[in-house]
């Protein structure tokens, strides 16, 4: 990876955007402000709505997976950054048996520091049965683990997952939010295949760019380039088809993908009404254009047929 | 015919340490077979008897009597380990392990441990961590909630033993990596770390990766990693 720092910086951006939207009232997250300082930038309503749709839709799929497995499952967040999902799940009494976050060591060591020094974060990973074990970049507790590893180094990833006590026989959901796009497509394909080779019951939630072949996509690529940030994996983000195929051709039984415009319409409409009142939007077309360049992809393999194919965005 | 009691009935052995007993006489009574041990504490008595007989014979100490419930067997051994670990803790406390020298609970340099004895885990000095952890283990192993009986133990409570093992093991590893002379001295007198390592390996209570003190001959040397 040419510029690790630039990719790492995308985490700060995303976390700041999330904090901004949380403070505007889009969703509730008592923990994000403990992870990242307040940014100075103002974010347009379509950005906030985009983050809202992103975190809400991922949460719907994740929660369905956790409930389906009756919490006897593992969550692995690839390139987790300052994600606060573990703490929110804990508050909702939906803690899985194991929750592992992986990112570059500079990110994980900062997150370890935040966790160690901020009581609301530390208290939630505490369990009377288990101590907290802490190194420069890694932290292990009873249910929550965070480890520093490069996702293209599968040997290192494997080792760190083992140190976290991952049990491959247990249903496991992998999440990546705008992560794979920074990795060359052949290398992310290897990662996707490694997971399907090693986890018989697995679900994958991938949120990232799509339809990147057009003018809008090119502008995005160029903008990021000026920040020394390269979308090496953009070839897999060509279409919904290519997004699904990276899974189905690498050992996953089936995959589904939706543009974020579609996702947005699938979300609970009462909530959508609520958030659309938070900030008024002049040109809905801007939002639709932005949303058409992001997608939610999910894939599964389900050797024991526990019902992973049922998981989607529909509301019961 | 007159019956002389003394000739036909052997004097009952009273296995009790009386006030004022000399140190060399402590617990110095005749062995009893497991079948004859007629008390709810038979397993503990059996284990302690084997240790007294020969603390270096780990295999024998870890061999349960026939038909012994495995959960109880593991529980009683762990109880015994915690009691004996207090001996190591006392030596650490009386000598060189104090909050000024060992400000954190570490074994190898890589990991520090936050003490789980507090509502919010704390970075306790090693000696405090040691005491808190042994106290916590004693509380758990004596708790009415999880271990109301020493004759049969629920599966869900047996599951708690692994985490107690992982936590108290850190006392060995801290002593080994930071107070080697003291560790060796205690180990020579007790074989405690050897026995503990064999125990957790035999009953799969800890993964091999976590057994960082190279104490058994067949244990892989991890000296290289320990310096990382």
Mean pLDDT value of segment B25-51 = 88
> Is B97 one of the annotated binding-site residues?
yes
Using one digit for the tens of pLDDT, what is the confidence trace for A272-292? Answer: 999 999 999 888 999 999 999
- B chain contacts of residue A130, beta-carbon cutoff 8 Å: 116, 163, 166-167
Using a CB–CB cutoff of 8 Å, tell me whether B166 touches chain A: yes
Q: Choose between A307 and B28: higher pLDDT.
A: A307
C-alpha span between B8 and A289 (Å, rounded): 103
C-alpha span between B76 and A238 (Å, rounded): 62
Helix residue ranges, H only, B9-160: 42-53, 58-61, 70-94, 126-141, 155-158
Using one digit for the tens of pLDDT, what is the confidence trace for A89-131? Answer: 999 999 999 999 999 999 999 999 999 999 999 999 988 778 8
Whole-number pLDDT of residue B220: 58
Contact B111 A134 (CB under 8 A): yes
Using one digit for the tens of pLDDT, what is the confidence trace for B130-173? Answer: 999 999 999 999 999 999 998 889 999 998 999 999 999 999 99
Residue where the block lists tokens 């009893």 = B32
Contact A127 B116 (CB under 8 A): yes
Interface of A with B in 33-92 (CB under 8 A): none
Would the pLDDT of B49 be above 60? yes
Parse chain A into domains and list their residue ranges: 4-302
Burial of B57: CB neighbours in 10 Å, binned 0-12, 13-18, 19+: middle
- A chain contacts of residue B112, beta-carbon cutoff 8 Å: 133-135
Q: For the whole model, what pTM was predicted?
A: 0.87
Q: With a cut of 50, which residues of chain A have pLDDT below it?
A: 1-2
- A chain contacts of residue B143, beta-carbon cutoff 8 Å: none
Contact A123 B113 (CB under 8 A): no
Query: CB count, 10 Å around CB of A213?
Result: 14
Would the pLDDT of B228 be above 70? no
Q: Which two tokens stand for residue B182?
A: 């003291």
Whole-number pLDDT of residue B120: 85
Task: Determine which helix (DSSP H) or strand (DSSP E) holds A140, and give its type and residue range.
Answer: strand A139-140
C-alpha span between A308 and B15 (Å, rounded): 62
Domain A4-302 has CATH 3.40.1360.10: no
Q: Which two tokens stand for residue A285?
A: 């077309």
Whole-number pLDDT of residue B224: 38
C-alpha span between A3 and B77 (Å, rounded): 54
Would the pLDDT of B226 be above 50? no
Asked if residue B126 lies in contact with residue A144, where contact means CB atoms within 8 angstroms, the answer is no
| pLDDT tier at B10, thresholds 50, 70, 90 | low
- A chain contacts of residue B114, beta-carbon cutoff 8 Å: 116, 122, 131-134
Query: CB count, 10 Å around CB of B227?
Result: 9
Q: Which two tokens stand for residue A38?
A: 């307040």
Residue of A nearest to B207 (CA): A165
Spatial neighbors of B158 by CB under 8 A, at least 6 apart, are B71, B74, B75
Beta strands in A231-293 (DSSP E): 254-259
How many CB pairs below 8 A link A and B?
A: 47
What region, left, alpha or beta, does residue A121 occupy, with left being phi > 0 and alpha being psi -120 to 50 degrees?
A: alpha
> Is A310 one of the annotated binding-site residues?
no
């Amino acid at each position: 990876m040419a510029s690790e720092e630039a990719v790492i910086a995308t985490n700060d951006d995303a976390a700041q955007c999330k904090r901004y939207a949380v403070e505007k009232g889009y969703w509730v997250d008592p923990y994000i402000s403990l992870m990242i300082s307040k940014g100075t930038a103002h974010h347009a309503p379509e950005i906030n709505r985009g983050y809202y749709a992103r975190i809400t839709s991922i949460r719907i799929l994740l929660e369905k997976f956790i409930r389906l497995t009756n919490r006897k499952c593992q969550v692995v967040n690839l390139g987790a950054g300052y994600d606060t999902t573990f703490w929110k799940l804990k508050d909702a009494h939906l803690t899985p048996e194991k929750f592992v976050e992986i990112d570059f060591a500079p990110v994980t060591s900062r997150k370890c520091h935040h966790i160690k020094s901020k009581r609301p974060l530390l208290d939630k990973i505490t369990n009377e049965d288990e101590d907290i074990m802490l190194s420069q970049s890694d932290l292990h507790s009873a249910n929550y683990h965070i480890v520093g590893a490069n996702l293209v180094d599968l040997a290192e990833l494997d080792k760190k997952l083992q140190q976290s006590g991952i049990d491959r026989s247990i249903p496991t959901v992998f999440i990546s939010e705008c992560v794979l796009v920074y990795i060359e497509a052949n290398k992310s394909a290897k990662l996707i295949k490694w997971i399907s080779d090693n986890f018989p019951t697995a679900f994958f939630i991938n949120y990232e760019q799509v339809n990147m072949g057009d003018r809008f996509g090119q502008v995005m690529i160029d903008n990021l380039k000026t920040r020394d940030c390269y979308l090496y994996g953009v070839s897999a983000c060509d279409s919904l088809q290519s997004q699904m195929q990276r899974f189905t051709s690498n050992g996953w039984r089936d995959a589904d993908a939706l543009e974020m415009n579609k996702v947005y319409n699938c979300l609970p409409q009462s909530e959508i009404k609520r958030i659309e009142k938070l900030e008024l939007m002049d040109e809905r077309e801007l939002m639709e254009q932005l949303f058409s360049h992001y997608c939610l992809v999910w894939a599964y393999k389900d050797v024991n047929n526990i019902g992973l194919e049922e998981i989607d965005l529909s509301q019961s | 015919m007159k019956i002389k009691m003394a000739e036909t009935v052997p004097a009952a052995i009273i296995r009790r340490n009386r006030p004022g007993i000399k140190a060399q006489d402590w617990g110095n009574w005749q062995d009893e077979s497991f079948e004859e041990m007629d008390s709810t504490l038979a397993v503990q008595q059996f284990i302690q008897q084997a240790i007294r007989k020969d603390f270096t014979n780990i295999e024998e100490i870890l061999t349960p009597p026939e038909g012994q419930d495995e959960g109880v067997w593991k529980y009683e051994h762990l109880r015994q380990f915690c009691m004996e670990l207090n001996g190591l803790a006392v030596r650490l406390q009386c000598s060189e392990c104090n909050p000024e020298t060992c400000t954190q609970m570490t074994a190898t340099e890589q990991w520090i441990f936050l003490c789980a004895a507090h509502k919010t885990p704390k970075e306790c000095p090693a000696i405090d961590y040691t005491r808190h952890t042994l106290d916590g283990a004693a509380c758990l192993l004596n708790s009415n909630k999880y271990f109301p009986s020493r004759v049969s133990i629920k599966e869900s409570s047996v599951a708690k033993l692994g985490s107690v093992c992982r936590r108290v093991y850190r006392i060995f590893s801290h002593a080994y990596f930071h107070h080697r002379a003291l560790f060796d001295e205690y180990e020579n007198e007790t074989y405690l770390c050897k026995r503990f390592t064999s125990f957790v390996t035999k009953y799969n209570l800890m993964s091999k990766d976590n057994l960082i003190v190279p104490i058994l001959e067949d244990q892989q040397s991890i000296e290289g990693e320990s310096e990382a």
